[in-house]
Amino acid sequence: MRMRAAGRQGQRSGLGARAGCSAAAQVRAGGGAGAGHGCRQAGPASDPAPGLVLTSPASLPTPRCWGPAWAPPALGPFPAPCLSCLSAMASQKKLQGLVAATVTPLTSDGKINLSVIGQYVDYLVDKQGVKNVFVNGTTGEGLALSSQERKQLAEEWVNQGKKKLEHVIIHVGALSLPESKELARHAAEIGASGISAIAPFFFKPKNKDALVAFLREVASEAPHIPFYYYHIPPLTGVKICIEDLLDGIKKQIPTFQGVKYSDTDLLDFAQCMDKYNKEQFLLLYGVDEQLLSALAVGATGAVGSTYNYLGQANNLMFQAYANQDFALARKYQFCIGEFLSFVFKLGFGVAQTKAIVTSLSGIPMGPPRLPLMSASEEFIMKAKAKLDSLPFLTTYPAK
C-alpha cells in the first residue's frame, strides 16, 4: 500500500514534470499524439535520455527468411521517463502472487455496470485475498468493448482500487495501433500501475521484429509505467517464442517488465525463467490449472480467471509451495484441477466464469456480450454442486 502510494506520488510528479517541461519540450517527429504524454524531456526529440539505449533501424538484426520486400520498421525514439518516474517505478512494490483477471460486469441490457466495481474490489481483497487485478483482458471481454467502455472501466478500477489494491494492470491491446496507443496513454494518465497488450491477431505480426515494433509504439505512450506482453497464442494465433522475444527487448522497450504467459509451453516458460529472471523480468503464469508446474520452475506470480473465486485456495497453494510442503501444494493443484476438468467437459469460457463469480460473490456480473452466450442454468447448478463437493477449496484454516 505504501509503495502503491509512492507509485502514485511518482505519477503525480510525472504529470508535474510534463507541465514544467511543456514549453521547452518538442513533440516527437510525426507524433501528433505526443501532447498527452507525461515525462517528456526537454530537448530535441532525437536526444536519448542518459542511460537509455535507443535502437536505430540500422541496428536491428537482419530478419530471418523474410521476403525481399521486407524492411525493418522505422523506430522513433522511446520517450524517456523523467527521473522521478524512474524512481517511482523502481520503488513500486514488486508484483507477485495472484492477479485476478477480472470479469466485466454488464447490466441485463448489455451495458457496462460500473456501480458494482467497488464491491468487486472488496470481495477480491477481503474474501479471496487477491490484491492485484488485470482489467479488460480476455476474461474482462476487453476486445468486445468499445474504447470508451474500456476507459471508463479502467478509471473505475483505478479509483475504487485506491488504498485497497496493490496493482491495477490495464490491458490495452487492440487490433488497431492508434486505438491501443490511446488506451495506453489513458491508462498512464489515470494512474494505472502497469499496462499489457496482446499481439494484434487479425493482421498478425509475422516475426519478432514486427511484434516488438508494434508493442514498442504502444508502450511508448505510457513511458513511466511497466509494460507486460500478454502471450496467449491459443486465442491470438501469434506463436512467437517468448525466449526469443525477450532477447534484447529492454533495449527496444525500456519499460518492458515481463510477460503474462497464457500458454502450456512449459519448456519455453522454463527457458525464459532460466535465462531472464536475472533481468528481473516477471513471468506471470496464465494457465491456472498448471500453476504448480510453473511455480516448480520458479514463477512468482500468476494472472488468471479462477483467482476471482479460487483465490484463497491458490494463495494456500503458493504458501504450501513456499513452505516446501509439496504434498499439500499438490493436493490444492489436484483439487483445483478436478474442478476445472469437470467444468471444461461441460463447456467453459468467459460466460461460465461470469456465472460462477456471480454465484460465489453474490455480485451480479451479468451476461457476457455477444457473440458469447450466457451460461446455462444447468451449468451453473452443476458447477456449484461440484464446488460444494470440494470443501477443501472453499473452506480455509482460520488465520
Ligand X SMILES: CC(=O)N[C@H](C=O)[C@@H](O)[C@H](O)[C@H](O)CO
**Residues engaged in binding ligand PYR (CB under 6 A):** 101, 134, 137-139, 260, 286, 303-305
Which is the catalytic residue, given 120, 230, 261, 309? Answer: 230
> Where in 236-275 is the site for ligand X (CB under 6 A)?
262
Measuring CA to CA, how many Å separate 252 from each of 60, 108, 272? Answer: 10, 44, 18
Contact between 141 and ligand X by CB under 6 A: the answer reads: no
Query: Measured in whole angstroms, how far is the alpha carbon of residue 82 from the centre of its chain?
Result: 24
Span from 4-12, 87-95, 156-164, 303-311 in contact with ligand X (CB under 6 A): 303-311
Q: What separation, in Å, do the N-terminal and C-terminal C-alpha atoms of the chain show?
A: 21
Amino acid identity at 257: Q
Nearer to ligand X, 82 or 232 (CB): 232
Contact between 292 and ligand X by CB under 6 A: the answer reads: no
Q: Which of 139, 196, 308, 361 binds ligand X (CB under 6 A)?
A: 139
Total count of residues recorded for the chain: 399
Amino acid identity at 327: A
Contact between 220 and ligand X by CB under 6 A: the answer reads: no
Q: Which of 88, 170, 245, 287 binds ligand X (CB under 6 A)?
A: 287
Size of the site for ligand X (CB under 6 A): 13
**What is the smallest separation between the CB atom of 260 and ligand PYR, expressed in angstroms?**
6
DSSP 126: I
Span from 6-14, 212-220, 299-307, 308-316 in contact with ligand X (CB under 6 A): 299-307
Span from 12-20, 170-178, 275-283, 298-306 in contact with ligand X (CB under 6 A): 298-306
Query: Measured in whole angstroms, how far is the alpha carbon of residue 219 from the centre of its chain?
Result: 13
| In contact, 311 and 98? CB cutoff 8 Å | yes
Pick what 289 binds: ligand X, ligand PYR, none; C-beta below 5 to 8 Å, kind-dependent. Answer: ligand X
Is it true that the peptide bond before 73 is cis, omega within 30 degrees of 0? no
Which is the catalytic residue, given 131, 151, 208, 260? Answer: 260
Query: Measured in whole angstroms, how far is the alpha carbon of residue 334 from the centre of its chain?
Result: 26
332 given a catalytic annotation: no
**What is the smallest separation between the CB atom of 350 and ligand PYR, expressed in angstroms?**
8
> Where in 28-47 is the site for ligand X (CB under 6 A)?
none
SS3 106: strand
Nearer to ligand PYR, 134 or 339 (CB): 134
Span from 63-71, 282-290, 322-330, 383-391 in contact with ligand X (CB under 6 A): 282-290
**What is the smallest separation between the CB atom of 139 and ligand PYR, expressed in angstroms?**
3
SS3 347: coil
C-alpha cell belonging to residue 145: 468493448
SS3 304: strand
396 given a catalytic annotation: no
Contact between 92 and ligand X by CB under 6 A: the answer reads: no
| In contact, 126 and 167? CB cutoff 8 Å | no
Nearer to ligand X, 81 or 105 (CB): 105
Pick what 11 binds: ligand X, ligand PYR, none; C-beta below 5 to 8 Å, kind-dependent. Answer: none
**What is the smallest separation between the CB atom of 393 and ligand X, expressed in angstroms?**
14
Q: How far apart are CA 247 and CA 294, in angstroms?
A: 21
**What is the smallest separation between the CB atom of 286 and ligand X, expressed in angstroms?**
4
C-alpha cell belonging to residue 123: 470481495
DSSP lists the bridge partners of residue 229 as 197, 259
Nearer to ligand PYR, 302 or 383 (CB): 302
Contact between 306 and ligand X by CB under 6 A: the answer reads: yes
In sign, the C-alpha dihedral spanning 172, 186, 217, 219 is negative
DSSP H helices, 81-174, are 83-91, 117-122, 128, 147-161
| In contact, 212 and 254? CB cutoff 8 Å | no
Catalytic residues: 230, 260
Which residues lie near ligand X (CB under 6 A)? 101, 138-139, 232, 262, 286-289, 304-306, 340
